[in-house]
Amino acid sequence: MTDRLLQGDTALVTGAASGIGRGIAVALAQEGARVVLSDSNAGDGRKVADQLTQDGHDVSFVAADLAAKNGPHDLLAEATKQLGTLSIMVHSASPPRREADHVLDVSEDTWDQMIAVNLRAGFVLGRETGRQMISQNIKGRMLIITSLHAYSPRNLPHYSAAKAGQTMTVKELAKALGPHGIRVNAIAPGAIPGGGFDAAGAGLARLTRCTSLRRLGTPEEVAGMAVALLCDRFSAYVTGTTVAVDGGIALHNWIEPVDL
């Protein structure tokens, strides 16, 4: 096929073993990009890459510990070695979390890991990918998966702080890299089962009621917006923004119990 939206692109996707990251990696490959998938979960990550390869897509997998100081640098070096150049970078990796954690429960180690994987790695990957794109005169695109937690205080203070920091990092990267033709955007998903979010239990019905569309979303629906933001056909003049893909849950107070 020659009409695929990302034909000829080369992409790195973190957090690609499950959930939203997996959905985005699959969608980019289906739209013609060569993709390096990365995750700390090597077993599941390789399964995703193997399936895509069997389906005829040009993909590979690289295990990475983005909480390690050199983790983002090592990952980018390996992805560049495999692909030659990068025209797309997607940062979706995030450590597992317990939805019940609040400010009195979160340990400093847990805080540090969440900030390192989400915020520090996102900044380093964005900065270093940007430097590489500039040196190679590539009009690249970047996407960071943030969260509605960036705007509403609730449980998960470490996660909310990391995602709020990512939101501003996107703006800073977009401002600095825009003159070089490089676009940087974010997606803030709503209730999307898979990966770090477990929708099972009594809270499922309430989350569904709090969503205007009265259902939870899917990784594939987030991936569709990711493709739109990463392709110039639909988003050539879009940078520095965050798009909510949430079924309208942000229109309601999903933090406190409600009777709808």
Q: What percent of the chain has pLDDT over 70?
A: 93
* Pairing of the two strands 59-63 and 34-39: parallel
Mean pLDDT calculated for residue range 139-157: 91
211 φ/ψ angles, rounded to the nearest 5 degrees = -100, 125
Residue 151 lies in a domain: yes
pLDDT in tens, 217-253: 999 999 999 999 999 999 999 999 999 999 998 888 7
3-state secondary structure of 199: coil
CATH code of residue 122: 3.40.50.720
Residue 4 lies in a domain: no
Please determine, for residue 122, whether its predicted confidence score (pLDDT) is greater than 60: yes
3-state secondary structure of 240: coil
- Return d(Cα 256, Cα 66) in angstroms, integer: 33
pLDDT in tens, 77-120: 999 999 999 999 999 999 988 777 788 889 999 999 999 999 99
26 φ/ψ angles, rounded to the nearest 5 degrees = -65, -45
Residue 122 lies in a domain: yes
Mean pLDDT of the chain: 92
- Give every CB contact of residue 20 below 8 A, 6+ residues apart in sequence: 92, 145, 189, 192, 194, 195, 219, 222, 223
pTM of the full predicted structure? 0.94
Mean pLDDT calculated for residue range 133-153: 94
Please determine, for residue 169, whether its predicted confidence score (pLDDT) is greater than 50: yes
Instruction: Work out how many domains the chain is built from and give that number.
Output: 1
pLDDT in tens, 170-218: 999 999 999 999 999 999 999 888 756 665 554 677 788 888 899 989 9
- Return d(Cα 227, Cα 31) in angstroms, integer: 8
Q: Domain span at residue 192?
A: 10-198+218-248
Q: Which of the four pLDDT bands, split at 50, 70 and 90, describes residue 1?
A: very low
How high is the pLDDT of residue 96?
A: 86
Out of 159, 162, 169, 249, the active site residue is: 159
Least confident of 11-20, 147-156, 176-185: 147-156
**Is 237 one of the catalytic residues?**
no
